[in-house]
């Protein structure tokens, strides 16, 4: 299929850039909008986007919204009723079972908006002030990709499938579309439906790497398969770098991740900590030709307990752009070495990190396979 010259893919950052782009996409919609996200906050940013969606509905654009019932549990009934009264088709993605404060089942972890099957934003950015930032506060560090190509058609089909509960998404296989000299594919991870495309893509790209791997990861607690792939890459002499959180909205998870540092550094993997804001990014670049951006965290909860959606991009141009951005971030990070780790560690801190690791791994198992509590909404990673 031939593509127009104006079809493109663009790396988008959290903060003003992302929300300005989101509003522009919504405002330019003519027929249909699908928005699916994990967290939608009732704050200045959330209300700004909600008003933009209501204005679209008033233009007779069909607007469909799915929010995760757990991630967005802080929203009031008045907020959601207002959306519906303004002509928006709205529903929560509910778990398999819920009773009072208990939830059992998958979580909708998508962060995507797509309009008219032609333009989309997909990434890891939720809707709220902390992802937007302001003059005094840095936004959480995260990424998205703007798609203006036929891959947006796949996104709209998938979003529509989830909204109307068609169940056909399990049959949709990832297809690489050509656009702007790139190959683009929408990947899903939904273990219950037998979809492990995002997890498999990460493992495959890391295993096949030849020169360089750069990953930015929030809530980094990879399973054994991915950890082995990273260590094997380092053993082959492949430059492997990971950007992690120096500060976190879930300190226990950050301590659990730090428990892994000694092992990873011992395999010559380089670790950089970002301290200017919370790291919420979920992206990677391999060999200046392959990239991935989306909602998938490198931990068991994303592998087995959540519905995730990423975009895979085979493009030298895009990969170099992402690598350049990663370099800027790393220049503002603190590099962690075995020496610096020894200086800031001690027997007590190492014990705390080990205990944190055991607690978080067990908690993730609990959150993935067993009921979880609404009052834990402040820890909605």
- Per-residue pLDDT, averaged over 203-231, amounts to 95
pLDDT classification of 377: cutoffs 50, 70, 90:
very low
Contact 122, 294 (CB under 8 A): yes
To the nearest whole percent, how much of the chain has pLDDT over 90?
70
pLDDT at 50: 98
pLDDT digits 0-9 by tens, 153-188: 999 999 999 999 876 556 566 777 777 788 999 999
Torsion sign (Cα): 221, 226, 228, 229: negative
Contact 314, 290 (CB under 8 A): yes
C-beta neighbour count of 121 within 10 angstroms = 26
Question: What are the distances in angstroms from CA 50 to CA 3, 112, 159?
Answer: 33, 15, 18
Phi and psi at residue 117, in whole multiples of 5°?
65, 20
pLDDT digits 0-9 by tens, 225-258: 999 999 999 999 999 999 999 999 999 999 999 9
Identify any residues that bridge with 336 across adjacent strands, giving them in sequence order: 271
Q: Give 14's DSSP letter.
A: T
pLDDT at 122: 98
pLDDT classification of 369: cutoffs 50, 70, 90:
low
pLDDT digits 0-9 by tens, 264-292: 999 999 999 999 999 999 999 999 999 99
To the nearest whole percent, how much of the chain has pLDDT over 70?
89
Give the mean pLDDT of the chain. Answer: 88
For the chain, list the domains and their CATH numbers: 8-175 (3.30.870.10), 188-369 (3.30.870.10)
């Amino acid at each position: 299929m031939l593509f127009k010259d104006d079809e493109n893919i663009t790396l988008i950052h959290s903060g003003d850039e992302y929300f300005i782009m989101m509003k522009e996409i919504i405002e330019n919609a003519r027929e249909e909008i699908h928005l699916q996200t994990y967290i939608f906050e009732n704050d200045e940013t959330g209300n700004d986007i909600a008003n933009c969606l209501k204005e679209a509905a008033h233009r007779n654009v069909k607007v469909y919204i799915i929010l995760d019932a757990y991630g967005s549990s802080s929203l009031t009934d008045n907020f959601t009723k207002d959306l519906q009264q303004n002509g928006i088709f709205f529903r929560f993605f509910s778990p398999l079972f819920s009773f009072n404060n208990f939830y059992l089942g998958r979580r909708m972890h998508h962060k995507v908006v797509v309009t008219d099957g032609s333009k989309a934003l997909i990434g890891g950015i939720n809707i709220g002030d902390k992802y937007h930032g302001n003059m005094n506060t840095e936004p959480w560090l995260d990424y998205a990709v703007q798609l203006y190509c036929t891959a947006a058609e796949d996104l709209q089909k998938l979003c529509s499938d989830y909204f109307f509960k068609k169940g056909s998404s399990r049959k949709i296989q990832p297809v690489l579309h050509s656009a702007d000299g790139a190959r683009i594919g929408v990947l899903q991870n939904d273990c219950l439906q037998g979809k492990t495309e995002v997890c498999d893509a990460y493992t495959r790209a890391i295993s096949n790497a030849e020169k360089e791997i750069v990953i930015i990861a929030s809530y980094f607690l990879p399973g054994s398969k991915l950890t082995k792939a990273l260590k094997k890459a380092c053993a082959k002499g492949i430059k492997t770098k990971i950007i992690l959180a120096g500060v976190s909205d879930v300190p226990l998870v950050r301590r659990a991740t730090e428990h892994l540092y000694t092992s990873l550094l011992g395999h010559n993997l380089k670790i950089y900590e970002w301290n200017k804001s919370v790291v919420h990014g979920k992206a990677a670049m391999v060999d200046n030709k392959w990239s991935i951006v989306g909602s998938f965290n490198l931990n068991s909860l994303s592998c087995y307990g959540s519905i995730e959606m990423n975009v895979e991009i085979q493009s030298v141009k895009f990969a170099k752009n992402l690598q350049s951005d990663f370099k800027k971030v790393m220049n503002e990070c603190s590099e962690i070495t075995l020496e610096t780790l020894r200086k800031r560690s001690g027997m007590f801190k190492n014990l705390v990190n080990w205990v944190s690791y055991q607690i978080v791994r067990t908690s993730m198992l609990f959150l993935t396979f067993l009921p979880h509590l609404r009052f834990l909404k402040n820890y909605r990673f």
